[in-house]
Structure 1
């Protein structure tokens, strides 16, 4: 599955637009992680516990978006974006979304 943040993909043309696809994940760090992160915030600098949480959540959201696109019959997701926010004080929401499409090889690609 091709996932791109761009509107155009070299050597390909969009044969069919299937519609919006998305993957949503809401996660919470456990109590121990929140305590360690809270202590790190006093010292300053990167809070690795939360960086890891956000990175894992984004990857999971992309995986869900790709699964959704496959169910729609897509072979690519164009114009992929993320949106995120907080729910309460300990939860993080991440949405990966884009346009599910079927691609065709450009006639110029074989030249």
Structure 2
């Protein structure tokens, strides 16, 4: 499955727009990681525990979006975007979305 932030792919002609697809996950902070993260804020630098958690959440959201596109028979998802929002104190949603398309065969 081709994923792109572009609205079109050079050399590919869109035959059919299948619609908007999305995937999301909600992640909550974990007390153990929060303690380590709080200590890191005192000395500065990257908070690796949160970086790893968000990277995993992005991966899951993208995988879920791709699965939705596959169910539609898509060749690609164009205009892919990622967004996040706070859903409650200590929990955030990561969402991946884009337009599922089928390309014209040469």
**Bin for the TM-score computed over the shorter chain:** over 0.9
Residue aligning to 1:33? 33
- The 1-side partners of 2:74 and 2:32 are apart by 41
Q: Summarize deviations over 1:34-83 as a string: whole Å, max 9, x none.
A: 11111111221111111111111001100000000011111100000001
Cα root mean square deviation, aligned: 1.2
How far the C-alpha of 1:87 sits from its partner, in A, is 2.6
User: Would you say how many aligned residue pairs link Structure 1 and Structure 2?
Assistant: 106
TM-score, normalised by the number of residues in structure 2: 0.93
Structure 1's unaligned 5+ residue stretches are none
Q: How does 1:5-16 map to 2 (within 5 A)?
A: 5-16=5-16
TM-score, normalised by the number of residues in structure 1: 0.89
